[in-house]
Amino acid sequence: MTNATLRQFKLPDVGEGLTEGEILQWLVAVGDTVTVNQPLCEVETAKAAVELPSPFAGTVVELLFEAGTMVDVGAPIITIDVGGDAPAAPAPAGSGLIGETNANGRTAVLVGYGPRSTEARRRPRRTAAHATGTPVAPPVPDDAPPLLATAPDMRTKPVRHGGLEVGRQAEAAALSEAAAPAREAVPGRRGPRPLAKPPVRKYAKDLGVDLATITGTGAGGVITRADVDAALAAATSGAEMAISAPEGGERIPVKGVRRHTAAAMVASAFTAPHVTEFLTVDVTRMMKLRARLAARPEFAGVRLSPLAFVARAVLLAAQRHPMVNSSWDEAAQEIVVHGRVNLGIAAATPRGLVVPNIKDAGRLSLAELATALGELTETARAGRTAPQDMTGGTLTITNVGVFGVDTGTPILNPGEAAILAFGAVREMPWVHKGKVRPRQVTTLALSFDHRIVDGELGSKVLADIGALLQDPATAIAY
């Protein structure tokens, strides 16, 4: 067995811009013979649990990580002996095998996900130093950490004013700034921007860690994820005794889906101004219609739950009020009104809360919508939701009624303008036709982003949903 026959499969980006994943379990062992596209392992990312297929046929030589390990995207996870003549998975023209680095230096990943297949390349820069023979700094590799506080990296030209001499002085000052150690912040004066790559900056922001308080241990003083983790541990060490698990308790690491959800909810709650309105509705007629439709042939084998009627009402209300199905584009300072509703349904799973969505749900009939809802929730609870079903949602429903809860104040799914909480349907005393009678009643709660949906529009949307559930026949008028 030679090195020429050994191939390593690298952890691909199975989502959209993910940086790491946890190996939940290996589906093969050392010595096993594998075929192309045979599942090798199950990996949990920040969005879902997926199986990774093998791009090679051969014999497993080594599993490079144990189950339960967090692995960075691009790191080799398994070594396979392809035997020299074992066929590999066919690849489309211009692309590589899953996990294999192509001619552009990119790692091929699952179809439809991950980095782009093309790469912009920087043209070598001709500086005044080259022209005059003045010694220049050694070339900087493409993956070098950013070194300047005011530019993406030290390859970026400073703005030149007053000719080449000023340009040289600006470059020298910039390089001197980059080479100097990070200075301590002086009260009353703004210090240099902490050195960290964008993923690390986002990671620190999600955890609430101030990068200005951290001394980087990476090359050139760059702050790493490990530095952020160490700073967070140091900040919480003083309170650890107070929050340590009591005898017989446990401490649960927050990672994968649960960590992603926590960060997303914090970002949503403190970015979008939330408003929540409530409406209690008599849904007796809806429940009677449900019983009648369930007996019809076209609904045979379909689980027609009250949630299907709520989803249908939300879709009709969004059709009448398109602004509720929109997003806020902070960078462009624009409201993006979506052309179709990708209806998200919040689902509780053993790994945490996920919100898969039904693409273009408005095109479905009631029977098709009920079937799609059943498949979506069953797949989510089994932890088998595909990554593409976790992205692109535009409007969400959370069914708190399944837990016997009347209502709540739901937090917006990031990037969406509204979310509806559907409470438990209960038999309650209700004034109907001038008399108090037992009726089937539920409470709805609509949270919305007040930058996009004002109180008038939010009230109209909620009122329309309530009217459709109270008297389903009104759907004919929509």
Catalytic annotation, residues: 450
- d(CA 174, CA 124) in angstroms, rounded, equals 19
Neighbours of 163 (CB within 10 A): 9
Distance of alpha carbon 223 from alpha carbon 288, whole angstroms: 62
Rounded to whole angstroms, the Cα distance separating 473 from 457 reads 23
For 336, residues 6+ apart whose C-beta sits below 8 A from its C-beta are: 326, 327, 328, 329
Nearest to 368 by CA among 305, 318, 299, 420: 299
